Amino acid sequence: MNQPIERVYEFGPFRYDPGQRLLFRNGEVAPLMPKAIDTLHVLLERRGRVVEKAELMKLVWPDTVIEEVGLARNISLLRKVLEGEGVCIETIPRRGYRFVAPVTEIESQLGRTTPRGEATPPAQRSRLRLAWWLASAISVIVLGGIIYWQFYTPSKYLTLQEGAPSLAVVPFECLSAEPDGAAFCQGFSELLVADLAKLGGISVVAPSTVRRHQRMGNSMGLMGRLLGLEVLVEGTIREVGGQIRITPKLVDVHTGRLIWADSYEYPAAEWDRIETGAAREVAAQVGAHLAIHGAFRNPGAR
C-alpha cells in the first residue's frame, strides 16, 4: 500500500517538515514556539515574494486580532534560530517580510524519512512527538505567565482592599446630533472615572486601557474577563425634548446581566455646566448599589 506523500523543505543545515510542524537543524529539533513555526510555514510556502504584514498576521492568527508586536516577536525568534546561515528572512520596510534563502523542496513518504532521508525509527518518532508536546506545554505556561504579569499583577503603588470590587467605565454612547454632544460624552465619562476612584474601596481601570481594548476589537465583556473585572459601567447620553437624558447602567461582567440602571435629566441649554454634577451623582449611585450588594462599604453612604 502506498504511503502518503508530503513536501519537505531544506535550506542550509535546516529541514522543515510541514506535516509535523517541526524544524530540524542537523537532525535535531530546533526549539520554536508554535506560532513562530506557523510564521515560518507561511514564509516558506511564499518564499521569494513579499508577504504583507496584514496577510501574515491573518494566516498565523486567523481567529485573533493581534498587534504587529506579536508578529515582530515571532520574526525575531526565527532569526535567532536561523542566525549564522546568512540572511534568511528579509524585512521589507513598512510592508512585510520575504524568505530569501535558497530552498530545496523534496517529496517523501509520510512518517518514513528523517531530516536526512533515512527511515525514521518508531522510537525517534515518539521522541519527536514528545518534544513537540513539551514545547507546546512550555509555550502555554510562558504565555500564561505573561498574561498574569501583564493583567493581574498590581504595581507597588496600588493598594487594594480585600473584597474591593474592580470595574471599568465604558465611554458613554452619544446619541445626540448636537455639536456639543460628543464633547460632553467624553468629558462626562472621564469625570465619572475620577469620581468613582474618589469613593475609595473600588479598583477602577484607566480609560486608556479601555480604549486600547476597543481599538483591538475586543468586546467589553472579553476585556472584563481578561482584566479580572467584576462590573462595567456603561450607558447612553441623548437630547430629548429640550432635556439631556443620561442613562447609566451597571453590568455584571460574568453574566452580562444588569445590576442597576437609571435615567437622569438635565436642561439641554446647560451642556457645558452639568458635566461635573451629573458625573458625581451617577458615581454616588454606582457606589451605593455596590455597597448594597455587599461589595464594599461606600465611605459616602450614611
Condensed to tens digits (0 to 9), the pLDDT of residues 136-161 reads 888 888 887 776 666 555 555 455 55
Q: Rounded distance, CA 139 to CA 150, Å?
A: 16
Which pTM does this prediction carry? 0.47
Q: Which residue type sits at 272?
A: D
CB 185 within 8 A of CB 174: yes
The three cell numbers locating residue 278: 451629573
Could you tell me the pLDDT band of residue 302, with boundaries at 50, 70 and 90? very low
Q: What are phi and psi of 12, to 5 degrees?
A: 60, -135
Cell 524544524 sits at which residue? 23
Quick one: CATH architecture of 166-292? 3-Layer(aba) Sandwich (3.40)
Look at residue 3 and tell me whether its pLDDT is greater than 60. no
Give the containing element (helix H, strand E) for 243. strand 243-252
274 or 284: whose pLDDT is higher? 284
CA 266 to chain centre: 39
What is the model's pLDDT at position 156? 53
Look at residue 49 and tell me whether its pLDDT is greater than 70. yes
- Domains 5-151 and 166-292 belong to one CATH topology: no
Q: Rounded distance, CA 14 to CA 11, Å?
A: 5
Q: Rounded distance, CA 267 to CA 177, Å?
A: 16
Domains of the chain, residue spans: 5-151, 166-292
Q: Rounded distance, CA 197 to CA 203, Å?
A: 7
71-85, 92-106, 136-150, 158-172: which is most confident: 92-106
185 or 162: whose pLDDT is higher? 185
**CATH of segment(s) 5-151:** 1.10.10.10
